[in-house]
A and B are shown apart, each in its own frame.
Chain A
Amino acid sequence: MRKALPLILFALLLTIGGLLRQHHDSTPKDRAPFSCESSLPSGTLCERRTDPFPHIAASPPQGETVYLVTAQDLDLQPRGYGGPMDIGVVLNGEARIKDVRIIRHQESPSYLKSMEAFLHQFMGKGPTAPLELKTDIDAITRATVSSEAVTLAVRQIRDRFRRELLGIPSSLPKHNPTTPVEKILLFSTGILLLISGTLAIIHRNVTLRWITMAGGFLFFGLMTASMLSIVQIIHIGLGNSPSPSVNILWWLTLVIGIVPTLLLGRIYCGTLCPFGILQEALHKMVQHPEKIPPSTYRGAQRTKVLLLFGLTALCLWQGSSLPAEGMEPFVPLFTGTGTRIAWAFMVMMIIASIFYYRFFCAHLCPVGAMTGLLSRFSLFRIKPQKGCSSCGQCVAACPVQAMAPGRSSDGTDRPLEVVVDPAECLLCGKCLTICPEQCLRLSRTGIVVQAHIPKETGRRQRDAAERIFIAFLLGALLLLGGVVGSRIAEPPFLTTAQDPASAANDPAGQRLKETLAAAGLSPHEARYWRETP
């Protein structure tokens, strides 16, 4: 039961928090009107019409009348990376697209910037343009999800405008952006990499592991830029998960990240995550033989669990995955999006990984924390088998100290049982290959062995490696605070509601004046009234 407690707590947080948030979001809110005077030449005459669907007809002083239709007007809900968004399409009288704009979104500013050029492609597209990715619209590099959602919404708006306002029937065939063959190919590539990674561990094959890692880096990193991300988990909590028919990669990473973890442990983290692979490769090139004392190291490993819980709660409270975006350095690295501070954090993590084996994976990655929670239930683990000589070399070799024996109550140097902590083990295979008796393997059963590990006693001097390690960790946390902090928005339920206390102090007249000033309305003295005692 104790081993399941963190996972149960996390599941509760995700479901209850998510449900509360979804309930809150489902209460209708008035939205700001699509203001056309701000974006059209002055003197433009705008009329909001409702027939056959809500839209705005705008007649500028010169030129043709244009029509503004938003996705929300048509009850469409295009979904961006950060959550639902609303887009507006400006069409002329022959259903030619004059402009496409993002009206409401939950995307990061840099992501939105990458969208500008993408949206520009729609301008001037005629009433019969296919408006399809790969046909006449190019997707945003590594942001296929939002590109598809926006393209589909623009096409639906254009088609409904054409059909219902202009009366021209739609003759275009329905188009599926990812063909079933592509889906099968994507999925089987992922599964193939997973199988080869598993075989590498079973057969203690270091070369095969590195080949798999190279493949994982290429496939999950450079080619598809789809990595298991805490953002996905938060979107599940928020009820935003995309349909598999729309975004197969989203589900592929989720399945590949979670299912094998329940079977073998953190094989995704150790062999498939492209950022982990990059870190390990960098560390291998430099090979600093540092060893941080277990008390510091094991404590630092818990940071990621705190981050996981904290970020999840924060995101659910905000109703957006925005705070969590950018704190995963693989997102800026492989998708090319992110704030400057997120990029700085990514660079810092890469530098840290040169000196400390998978610094981010071991101490900060919230996805790692989550797979850690799950791997406590893994069926197979690395366990010592018959023939062990209790040499303790495996314990010393473990780069993430997952084999550091349990706490010693009296702090003395005494033999302790050798157990792999599945929450930290990345299945890198170092212990498997270093074992002189080759008696460690992935198994459901094992024997109890004890090894002599020197325990620290009393206060000790921190060495240089440990000091730098702590500095890295603190620096990283500071930067992370910046990344997350820069994304926190005032939650809507705090900003829209009037504070009752201040309302009581605030005279009605003052409030009215503020409302009018905010709306740009200047009162004009009226006729036909009298003062009433």
Chain B
Amino acid sequence: MRTVTCDLCPRHCRLKEGERGDCRVRANIDGKLYSLVYGKACAAHVDPIEKKPVFHVLPGSSSFSIATAGCNLHCLYCQNWQISQRPPEETPNIDLPPASVVENARRYDCRSIAYTYTDPIVFYEYTLDTSRLAKDQGLLNILVTAGYIEQEPLKALCPFITAANVDLKGMSDDFYRRMSQGTLTPVLEAILTMKRMGVHVEITNLLVPTWNDTDKDILALIRWIKEHCGSDTPLHFSRFWPTHELQNLPPTPEETLTHAWELARAEGLSFVYAGNMPGHPGNNTFCPGCGKILIRRRGYQILSSNLAEGTCDACGSRIPGIWK
């Protein structure tokens, strides 16, 4: 009976033979650690890249989005709990080895592959091999993650990742513990590592009424981003919708969303967005130089763009991101 320890994420699950980790998709089989979901996608879809949400990478392009079962966090508000909180034998899976992912991305005219829906951290090997192959073939790789990962595996993955949207759920360990059964520090470190290694990072914060919607919570988040990631880091405030185990709460009021959006802009962040609320002015990208609307959006849809090779066509300000 050999025990193994998984060092992929900060949980460091110790697994006896036949046991699985907290994520349900990594198991000790005959004294070795195996990923149970390599090449087994439980969701694969062609999405607009704006859905991730990633607003500063090839706006209007499609991203071939894949996920497997399992997750290393257990958020009460999980939108995809049917796949994230299930072991892989209980989800409908399709065989989609890395080469097929790349092939499908091409077939569906996608410029990028997004590792999303659950958390790509738990299908790490699948993500790593696929992103490496995709990069070789000129596709971009988008990581949509909660960032709850150890430094070493993250550093090995970053070279292949073009952009990431990291869900920064709150600014306290207590919030992480109660909402997600996780901790804050590894997430902050993951964001900084990605930034350092040249990954274009956008941050999402889901505003949950009564959980993290006070000015104190919001300001702490804004200030940390401004101080450590820079004021040109895109920040998406996202509207919460009652689901999974938080059905008792109302959806985030529009005022809260607008308030957070305004607060972040007032604090000096250049690219603040309000998501999950089509038609909100926070759907648009504003030029930090002249204030002009650079990309006009409605939900995931691009209405117009005044960007010329990543610069504002009015004042010439450079906008961080990947534009072609």
Q: Which residues of A contact B (CB under 8 A)?
A: 30, 33-37, 43-48, 50, 54, 56-57, 59, 61, 507-513, 515-516, 518-533
Residues of B within 8 A of A533 (CB): 3
Smallest CB separation, A58 vs chain B (Å): 10
Residues of A within 8 A of B4 (CB): 529-532
> Can you list 5 contacts pairing A with B, beta carbon distance less than 8 Å?
A33-B90, A48-B83, A50-B243, A530-B7, A532-B3
Stretch of B24-32, B283-291, B302-310 with 4 or more beta carbons under 8 angstroms from chain A: B24-32
A52–chain B nearest beta-carbon distance, Å: 11
Closest to B241 in A: A51
| Cβ–Cβ contact A521 & B125, under 8 A | no
| Measured CA separation A513–B89 after assembly (Å) | 11
Is B246 an interface position by the 8 A CB rule? Answer: no
CB within 8 A of A48: which of B38, B92, B125? B92
Closest A residue to B32 using CB positions: A525
CA distance A515 to B93 in the complex (A): 14
Residue of B2, B6, B8, B18 most packed against chain A (CB within 10 A): B18
* C-alpha spacing A50/B244, complex, angstroms: 10
A528 touches B16 (CB 8 A): no
Q: Which of A507, A508, A531 contacts B3 (CB 8 A)?
A: A531
Q: Which of chain B's residues have a CB closer than 8 A to the CB of A526?
A: 6, 8, 26, 33-35, 124-125
In the bound complex, do residue A30 and residue B90 qualify as a contact, i.e. CB atoms below 8 Å apart? yes
Write out the residue numbers on chain A whose beta carbons fall within 8 Å of the beta carbon of B243.
50
Pairwise interchain contact B16-A48, C-beta atoms closer than 8 A: no
Cα distance A524–B35 in the bound complex, in angstroms:
5
With a cutoff of 8 Å between Cβ atoms, the chain A residues found around residue B100 in the complex are 43
For the A-B complex with A50-B82, A521-B93 known, give 15 more contacts whose Cβ atoms are closer than 8 Å.
A45-B44, A45-B45, A46-B43, A56-B92, A507-B18, A519-B88, A520-B93, A522-B38, A523-B29, A523-B34, A524-B38, A524-B126, A526-B125, A529-B33, A532-B4
Which residues of chain B in 85-133 are interfacial with respect to chain A, using CB atoms and an 8 Å cutoff?
88-94, 100, 104, 107, 124-126, 128
Q: Is B272 an interface residue (CB 8 A)?
A: no
Q: Which residues of B contact A48 (CB under 8 A)?
A: 42-43, 82-83, 91-92
Distance to closest chain B CB from A43 (angstroms): 7
Q: Once the chains are docked, how many angstroms separate the CA of A516 from the CA of B37? A: 10
Contacts of B150 in A (CB 8 A): 528
B5 touching A523, Cβ below 8 Å: no
The reply to whether B46 and A529 form a contact with Cβ atoms under 8 Å apart is no
The 10 A-B residue pairs whose C-beta atoms are closest, nearest first, are: A508-B18, A524-B38, A519-B89, A523-B34, A529-B33, A509-B18, A45-B44, A526-B33, A509-B17, A528-B7
Q: Which residue of B lies closest to A524 (CB)?
A: B38
The answer for the CA separation of A516 and B38 in the assembled complex, in Å, is 13
* In the bound complex, CA of A511 to CA of B87 (Å): 14
What residues of B have a CB within 8 angstroms of the CB of A529 in the complex?
4-8, 32-33
> Separation in Å of the A472 CB from the closest CB of chain B?
52
Task: A56 to B93: give the CA distance in the assembly, Å.
Answer: 12
Residue B52 is within 8 A (CB to CB) of chain A in the complex: no
B39 touches A516 (CB 8 A): no
Known A46-B92, A523-B27; judge A507-B17 contact (CB<8 A). yes
What is the CB-to-nearest-CB distance from A224 to chain B, in angstroms, rounded to a whole number? Answer: 42
CA distance A524 to B37 in the complex (A): 8
Which residues of chain B are near A61, meaning CB under 8 Å? Answer: 104, 107
Q: Are B104 and A43 in contact (CB under 8 A)?
A: yes
Q: Among A48, A507, A529, which residue has the most Cβ atoms of chain B within 10 A?
A: A529
Contacts of B56 in A (CB 8 A): none
Question: Does residue B14 face the partner (Cβ distance < 8 Å to A)?
Answer: yes
Specify which chain B residues have a CB less than 8 angstroms from the CB of A511 in the assembled complex. 18
- Is the pair A528, B153 in contact by a Cβ cutoff of 8 Å? yes
Distance in angstroms from B234 CB to nearest chain A CB is 25
Q: Does B19 contact A (CB under 8 A)?
A: yes
CB–CB B125/A524 < 8 A: yes
Q: Is B74 an interface residue (CB 8 A)?
A: no
Tell whether, in the assembled complex, residue A47 and residue B45 are in contact, meaning their CB atoms are under 8 Å apart. Answer: yes
Shortest distance between the CB of A39 and any CB in chain B (Å):
11
